[in-house]
Amino acid sequence: MIGTGILKGMAVTLRNFAGSYFEKDRLITVQYPEERNPLPENYRNFPFLVYDGNDPHAGLRCVACQICEKECPPQCIYIIKSKDKKPDYVGKPQFYPAVFDIDISVCMSCQICVEVCPFEAIKMDKDFELSQRERFNHLLQRKEELSKSNEYYHKIHPIEAAAVDKNLADAAAAAEAKKKAAAEAVARAAAAKGAVATQAAPTPAPPESSSSSTQS
- Using alpha carbons, select from 29, 32, 27 the residue that is nearest to residue 129: 32
Does residue 27 sit within a domain? Answer: no
Per residue in 85-100, pLDDT tens?
988 766 788 899 999 9
Under DSSP, is residue 70 helix (H, G, I), strand (E, B) or coil? helix
Does residue 57 sit within a domain? Answer: yes
What pLDDT does residue 58 have? 87
- H or E element that contains 204: none
Q: Which domain holds residue 88?
A: 47-168
Does residue 75 sit within a domain? Answer: yes
Does residue 208 sit within a domain? Answer: no
What pLDDT does residue 18 have? 86
Spans of the chain below 70 pLDDT: 1, 28, 89-90, 200-216
Does residue 174 sit within a domain? Answer: no
Read off the CATH number of the domain in which 110 is found.
Answer: 3.30.70.3270
Does residue 115 sit within a domain? Answer: yes
What pLDDT does residue 155 have? 94
Does residue 161 sit within a domain? Answer: yes
What pLDDT does residue 37 have? 83
What pLDDT does residue 188 have? 86
- CB count within 10 Å of CB 123 equals 24
Whole-angstrom distance, CA of residue 193 vs CA of residue 181? 18
Domain count, the chain: 1
- Using alpha carbons, select from 185, 80, 202 the residue that is nearest to residue 143: 80
What pLDDT does residue 216 have? 46
Does residue 4 sit within a domain? Answer: no
What pLDDT does residue 207 have? 64
Per residue in 23-64, pLDDT tens?
777 776 778 888 888 888 889 999 999 999 888 988 999 999
